[in-house]
Structure 1
Amino acid sequence: MGAGGRMSVPPEGKKSKPDAFQRVPHSKPPFTLGELKKAIPPHCFQRSIPRSFSYVIYDLTIASLFYYVATNYFHLLPPSLSYLAWPLYWICQGCVLTDRDEVFVPKVKSGISWFAKYTNNPPGRVLMLTVQFTLGWPLYLLFNVSGRHYDRFACHYDPKSPIYSDRERLQILISDAGVLAVTYGLYRLAVAKGIAWVVCVYGGPLLVVNAFLVLITYLQHTHPALPHYNSSEWDWLRGALATVDRDYGILNTVFHNITDTHVAHHLFSTMPHYHAMEATKAIKPILGKYYQFDGTPIFKAVWREAKECIYVEPDEGEKNKGVLWYNNKL
């Protein structure tokens, strides 16, 4: 969900084009998680229920305002303006209701699909990105696409899925009940107001939310400069640092700054989002070259990453086979 009142962390200086591909160090960092935590003001770890709910109320207020305007005034517009107003509503409402990212695990070369060599071209990338941003989120929930590999079928709606621990299974049942209740509510709305009304008011923003959830997750974990590790080399701290902060402009604020404080989120996932900006500023001097920020415009970054980052593998001739880098040679 969106939020207000927070500024993006500016980069130390505008990066030159080659710097975007300057690899992040993959050796064990000269600092510890404890040292990073000590650099952050203690109040950044304090959670406030009233403050947290204030963001929920703020977001719901903005979403309700968009809904009110769309359902009470759009029908008064001339058809030509109505065709512009509804997509604008979908984008604005979808941005406000976007609130988090999800798991993304890069594929090794042996794990990429057989058709990858046929889509490794501009038309193919357009097709794959379109599918990814429209169906990617439902596919992740239903089939754990792009998620961690499990020995058996994994579905986020299945309480017995290997994704969850025993203490989480009741929570999934409650969540499933909520999904069914919303589905039934949408059915009743469609009966009362028509399918077109539900698609315009609910379906359009939902597609935008789906697209942003996938986009944000994809760009936070996909970058030519980021190392990835297999089990022989992985440790928690280096794994947590294998992410990149991005600049979405004004949307950084709308998205609760999940876009430009993701490194801090990886390191301290229970920290309230409204302290993440301050924490990021505090740890950047310690992280040094281990901190990755890329201010490349988002549309340009999506296209570049889709072209350059198809799978991960060790560098050719590298003795250490536990460190993997993105490659696009098929």
Structure 2
Amino acid sequence: MGDSEFDPSSPPPFRLSEIRSAIPNHCWVKDTWRSLGYVVRDIFVVFGLIVLAVYLDNWAFWPFYWAAQGTMFWALFVLGHDCGHGSFSENPTINSVVGHILHSSILVPYHGWRISHRTHHQNHGNIEKDESWVPLSEKVYKEMGFSGKFFRFRAPFPLFAYPLYLLWRSPGKSGSHFNPYNNNLFHHSERNHVVISTVCWTLMVVFLFKLYTIIGFLQLLRLYIIPYLVFIMWLDFVTYLHHHGHYNKLPWYRGKVKIHNIHILL
């Protein structure tokens, strides 16, 4: 079917039940031990890279370490992402514990992000309710200051936007992933979950500060901060292309009105 004949807003020629029935049964199995095996493997690689970097302490090796370790941080995020979706294990407690360990280690508030990510999946393509890389309305754009426009639309700054999103969300939206009383994101029944995640995130920050007092800023920069920035780059780069790639023809909506061909340009 040619592009001119494709209407992404039209009902698909299949049912969701048909898609599910076409997927092999073993793909629906949540194997906790297999999932934990991936966690152990990735943590082993993370600490192995740290030991190797400290042992070699060679500036010819550091760029390789930063690229590899930043990618491994991204791998930890993906495993925590699966915990947030409940696809890591059938046991919610295991999902929560592992998710907190993995996400806190890379400065992501597990429940705060998990809840907003759930909101994203429930409202994908809705400009008013979606969470990920939402196109800005003209009104919101005009209300943004110079710095907001510069850092949002000028490469490479959008590649490092994720921490700011966690703190303040996107332009035109209010609230923080760390605030349990953020009624724009969280239901009151979810406040205790958000508190736990914020405490875990804070403990990781305290640990990094303690580490800084022991090994110094330069070593902390080389071992953790630069890989963290590489991880942020991967996260923003992949999710941006996922939602706004050149061949992504899915429309955006405001209410029930379809809006075609909207892209966020870097």
Corresponding position of 1:252: none
1:143 aligns with 2:168: yes
1:159–1:173 Cα contact (<8 Å) kept: yes
1:63–1:96 Cα contact (<8 Å) kept: yes
**Secondary structure, counterpart of 2:155 in structure 1:** helix
1:104 aligns with 2:40: no
Corresponding position of 1:67: 50
Structure 2 CA distance for partners of 1:219 and 1:327, relative to 1, 3 Å: closer
Letter of the 1:94 counterpart? G
Q: Distance in 2 between matches of 1:187 and 1:327?
A: 39
Structure 2 CA distance for partners of 1:180 and 1:108, relative to 1, 3 Å: closer
* Structure whose alpha-carbon radius of gyration is higher: 1
Letter of the 2:14 counterpart? F
Corresponding position of 1:203: 225
**Secondary structure, counterpart of 1:230 in structure 2:** strand
Structure 2 CA distance for partners of 1:165 and 1:89, relative to 1, 3 Å: same
**Alpha-carbon shift at residue 201 of structure 1 (Å):** 0.6
2:159 corresponds, among 127, 130, 133, to 133
Corresponding position of 2:37: 54
Corresponding position of 2:93: none
Letter of the 1:325 counterpart? N
Letter of the 1:44 counterpart? C
Structure 2 CA distance for partners of 1:187 and 1:23, relative to 1, 3 Å: farther
**1:107-162 deviations in whole A, cap 9, x for unaligned?**
1441563499x99xxxx89972211112x01111001126xx65xx3100011112
**Paired residues for 1:167-206 under 5 Å:** 167-206=189-228
Between structures 1 and 2, the one with greater helix share: 2
**Secondary structure, counterpart of 2:181 in structure 1:** coil
Corresponding position of 1:322: 258
2:244–2:264 Cα contact (<8 Å) kept: no
**Secondary structure, counterpart of 2:159 in structure 1:** helix
Q: TM-score, normalised by structure 1?
A: 0.55
Structure 2 CA distance for partners of 1:183 and 1:34, relative to 1, 3 Å: same
1:94–1:205 Cα contact (<8 Å) kept: yes
**1:179-228 deviations in whole A, cap 9, x for unaligned?**
11111111111111111111111101100111111111101000344222
**Secondary structure, counterpart of 2:27 in structure 1:** helix
RMSD: 3.2
Letter of the 2:135 counterpart? K
Structure 2 CA distance for partners of 1:221 and 1:47, relative to 1, 3 Å: same
Structure 2 CA distance for partners of 1:328 and 1:191, relative to 1, 3 Å: closer
Q: Distance in 2 between matches of 1:328 and 1:138?
A: 19
**Secondary structure, counterpart of 2:156 in structure 1:** helix
1:113 corresponds, among 133, 136, 141, to 141
Regions of 4+ moved over 4 Å:
21-24, 124-127
Structure 2 CA distance for partners of 1:323 and 1:113, relative to 1, 3 Å: closer
Structure 2 CA distance for partners of 1:97 and 1:125, relative to 1, 3 Å: closer
**Paired residues for 1:280-291 under 5 Å:** none
Structure 2 CA distance for partners of 1:167 and 1:48, relative to 1, 3 Å: farther
Corresponding position of 1:263: none
Q: Say which structure, 1 or 2, has more relative contact order (CA 8 Å, 6+ apart).
A: 1
**1:238-292 deviations in whole A, cap 9, x for unaligned?**
xxxxxxxxxxxxxxxxxxxxxxxxxxxxxxxxxxxxxxxxxxxxxxxxxxxxxxx
Letter of the 2:177 counterpart? H
**Secondary structure, counterpart of 1:326 in structure 2:** coil
2:67–2:230 Cα contact (<8 Å) kept: yes
Q: Point out where structure 1 has 5 or more consecutive residues left out of the alignment.
A: 1-17, 234-320
